[in-house]
Chain A
Amino acid sequence: MSGGAARAAVLARVRSALADVPAGEPGAAVPAVPAAAAPDDLAGLFADRVADYRATVTRCAADDAAIAAAIGEAFARHGAGSSVVAPGVPEAWRAAAPGPEVDEPALALERLDAVDGVLSGCALGIAETGTIILDGARRSGRRAITLVPDLHVCVVLAADVVAGVAEATARLGAAIVAGRPVTLVSGPSATSDIELDRVEGVHGPRRLEVVLAG
Chain B
Amino acid sequence: MNGPRRFPEAAREALGDSQLRANLRRATHTIRDRRAAVVAEIGEWEALREAGRAIKEATMRHLDVHLEALERSVTDRGGVVHWARDAAEANATVARLVHEAGAREVVKVKSLATDEIGLNDALAAEGITAHETDLAELIVQLAHDTPSHILVPAIHRNRAEIAALFRRTLPGAQGVSDEPAALAEAARRFLRERFLGARVGVSGANFAVAQTGTVCVVESEGNGRMCTTLPEVLITVMGIEKVIPSLADLGVMLQLLPRSSTGERMNPYTSLWTGVAPDDGPQAFHLVLLDNGRTDVLADATGRQALHCIRCSACLNVCPVYERTGGHAYGDTYPGPIGAILAPQLHGMRGPTTSLPWASTLCGACADVCPVGIDIPGVLIHLRGRVVAQAARGDVPAGERLGMEAMARVFSSRRRYEAAQRLARAGARPLARGGRIEHRLPGPLAGWTMSRDLPAPPAQTFREWWRAR
Binding site for B on A (CB under 8 A): 2-3, 6-7, 9-11, 13-18, 20-21, 25, 27-28, 30-36, 49, 52-53, 106, 109-110, 113, 126, 128-131, 136, 142-144, 147-148, 164-166, 168-170, 172-173, 176-177, 179-197, 199, 201-205
Any A CB within 8 A of the CB of B283: no
Question: Is the CB–CB distance between B30 and A183 below 8 Å?
Answer: no
Instruction: Select one of B192, B221, B272 contacting A182, CB under 8 A.
Output: B272
Q: B154 an interface residue at 8 Å Cβ cutoff?
A: yes
List chain A residues, Cβ under 8 A from B252: 30, 33, 166
Indicate whether A30 sits within 8 Å of B220 (C-beta atoms), given known contacts A128-B265, A165-B254, A192-B262: no
- Please indicate the chain A residues that have their CB under 8 angstroms from the CB of B80 in the complex: 2
What's the least CB distance linking B162 to chain A, in Å?
A: 6
Instruction: Check: B248 CB closer than 8 A to any chain A CB.
Output: yes
B171 within 8 A of A: no
Do B230 and A109 touch (CB < 8 A)?
Answer: yes
Q: Could you list 16 further interchain pairs (A-B, Cβ under 8 angstroms) beyond the known A18-B63, A166-B251, A193-B152?
A: A3-B84, A10-B291, A21-B62, A27-B65, A28-B54, A33-B44, A109-B196, A181-B281, A184-B272, A189-B269, A191-B184, A194-B162, A195-B27, A201-B188, A202-B187, A203-B221
Within 8 A of A (CB), among B274-311: 274-277, 279-281, 289, 291, 295-296, 298-299, 301
Which residue of the partner chain, among A11, A27, A168, A195, contacts B251 with CB atoms under 8 Å?
A168
Chain B 73-99 interface 0/1 with A at a Cβ cutoff of 8 Å (1 = within): 000010010111100010001000000
Cβ proximity bits B250-275 to A, threshold 8 Å, 1 near / 0 not = 11101100100010111111111111
A176 to B248, CA, bound (A): 13
Query: Across the interface, do A186 and B266 meet the contact criterion of CB distance under 8 Å?
Result: yes
If A136-B277, A183-B272, A202-B223 touch, whether A25 touches B31 (CB-CB below 8 Å) is no
- Contact present for B268 and A30 (CB under 8 Å): no
Number of B residues, CB within 8 Å of A: 99
A-B contact count (CB 8 A): 262
* Beta-carbon contact of A192 and B220 below 8 Å: yes
Which residues on B are within 8 Å of A, measured CB to CB? 23, 26-27, 30-31, 42-44, 47-48, 50-51, 54-55, 57-58, 61-65, 67-68, 77, 80, 82-85, 89, 93, 133-136, 139, 152-155, 158-159, 162, 180-181, 183-184, 187-188, 191-192, 195-196, 212, 214, 220-223, 225-226, 229-230, 240, 245, 247-252, 254-255, 258, 262, 264-277, 279-281, 289, 291, 295-296, 298-299, 301
**What are the 9 tightest A-B residue pairs by CB atom distance, in nearest-first order?**
A204-B222, A169-B251, A203-B222, A13-B295, A17-B299, A17-B298, A202-B221, A193-B136, A129-B266
A36–B64 CB distance below 8 A: no
- Are A193 and B251 interface neighbours, CB within 8 A? no
Contact A199 B254 (CB under 8 A): no
Q: Which of the residues A11, A49, A166, A193 comes within 8 Å of B68, measured between beta carbons?
A: A11
With A21-B62, A34-B44, A199-B180 already in contact, the answer to whether A189 and B248 are too (CB < 8 A) is no
- The answer to whether A166 touches B255, judged by C-beta atoms less than 8 angstroms apart, is yes
Shortest distance in angstroms between A45's beta carbon and chain B's nearest beta carbon?
Answer: 11
Query: A2 — which chain B residues lie within 8 A by C-beta?
Result: 80, 82, 93
Q: Separation in Å of the B147 CB from the closest CB of chain A?
A: 11
Q: Which residues of B contact A176 (CB under 8 A)?
A: 212, 214, 247, 272, 274
The answer to whether A181 and B272 touch (CB under 8 A), given A6-B83, A143-B225, is yes
Pick the most buried of A20, A147, A169, A205: most chain B CB atoms within 10 A of its CB. A169
Contact of B220 among A106, A130, A183, A190 (CB under 8 A): A190
Tell me the bound Cα distance from A148 to B198 in angstroms. Answer: 14
- Tell me how far the C-beta of B238 lies from the nearest C-beta in chain A, rounded to whole angstroms: 13
Query: A148 — which chain B residues lie within 8 A by C-beta?
Result: 230
How many Å from the CB of B284 to the closest CB on chain A? Answer: 13
Least Cβ–Cβ distance between B229 and chain A, in angstroms: 5
Which residues of chain A are within 8 angstroms of B26 by Cβ–Cβ distance? 195-196
Whole-angstrom distance between the alpha carbons of A53 and B159 in the complex?
23
Whether A36 touches B280, Cβ cut-off 8 Å, given contacts A10-B289, A21-B61, is no
Q: Which B residues are CB-close (under 8 A) to A179?
A: 77, 274-277
Q: Which of B64, B180, B249, B269 contacts A15 (CB 8 A)?
A: B64
User: How far is B300's CA from A16's CA once the two chains are assembled, in angstroms?
Assistant: 11
Minimum CB–CB distance from A127 to chain B (whole Å) comes to: 11
Please, which residues of chain A bring their CB within 8 A of the CB of B248? 30, 166, 169-170
